Amino acid sequence: MSGRVGPGGLASIVGAAVAAALLVFTPSFEGTKLKTYRDLAGVLTYCTGATENAMWGKTYTPVECQAQLERDLERHAAGVARCVPMSRLNAGQRVAFVDAAYNIGVPAFCGSTMARRINAGDVTGACDALLMWNKVGGREVRGLTLRRQKERDLCLKGLP
């Protein structure tokens, strides 16, 4: 996919406060690299975890990386919204699930226990299911474990 998802941008999908939170939360775990590199799974990656149209050896500017992050978060938020109604999610859940989808991909998110449980009304179970996604190639990765724990904390925030 490429280009804008819609006229309203990320904020129109998840709300302005959630959009602002995602633009801080996601880079805090992804980091930003101005040159293409291979991630832990060997996927050609650039900027803040972007993979779309990656070209080996290319260097990006901070402005290009910020614009790519905004497009990618918008696209992933739209994907999450197609399989989980945003109206069912509080702000923390929106951040957690969009960030997870950004990291694992929309198809993986939409086919996951997270999506099944949230759609069944099991919010706590959906938040707990985030913790299942902490491996690369079957091996636990500390950074992913920490990311999933932070997502889960946000997801559970405000629940009884």
As a whole number of angstroms, the distance between CA 84 and CA 119 comes to: 6
CA–CA separation, 117 vs 129, rounded Å? 8
E strand residue ranges, the chain: 33-38, 44-47, 135-136, 139-140
User: Among the options 30, 72, 74, 151, which is catalytic?
Assistant: 30
DSSP state of 159: -
Report how far apart, in Å, the C-alpha atoms of 155 and of each of 99, 146, 151 are: 11, 14, 6
Report which DSSP code applies to 54.
-
Q: Which residues pair with 149 in a beta bridge?
A: none
Active-site residue, 30 included = yes
Q: Which residues are catalytic?
A: 30, 39
